[in-house]
Amino acid sequence: MGLPSDRRQAYNNVLRRQANPKGQYNKAYPGTRPLKSLAVPMILANLSLEMAWLLPPQQLDQVLDQTVAEVMTDFWDGERGVMREAVAPTGSVVDCHEGRLINPGHGIEAMWFMMEIGQRRGDRP
């Protein structure tokens, strides 16, 4: 295992690449509909929780706030009671195959991380 500073550097690289996690290997074709994936904020929430012992508290709180807001505002469809896998960059529903895709396992996993964050903060329903 690397030193804590190596782990922080790797974490900061993840934060830096949020908008384009695949970098040069992004398969999006120019001119097609842009989408954002639930995977990024969902996994970032879990990664942040796992690395909480190593991160500055202000940075941790900021990232957790961001992931909760994104998951619960952009991907959670409260009207239908489902977690969407992909939405437009603005968080709106996209009427295409990817926009209609629901993965129950990811929905459960994302909510598990949201509940962990809520428990950490002492949030109550």
Q: What is the mean pLDDT of residues 73-84?
A: 95
User: Which among 49, 39, 36, 51 is positioned nearest to 91, based on CA atoms?
Assistant: 36
pTM tops 0.75, yes or no: yes
Q: What is the pLDDT of residues 97-122, one digit of tens each?
A: 999 999 999 999 999 999 999 999 99
Asked if 70 and 37 touch (Cβ cutoff 8 Å), the reply is no
User: Residue 1: which pLDDT band, with cuts at 50, 70 and 90?
Assistant: low
Q: How many domains does the chain have?
A: 1
Residue 24 belongs to domain spanning: 4-121
The alpha carbon dihedral of 67, 26, 30, 77 has a sign of negative
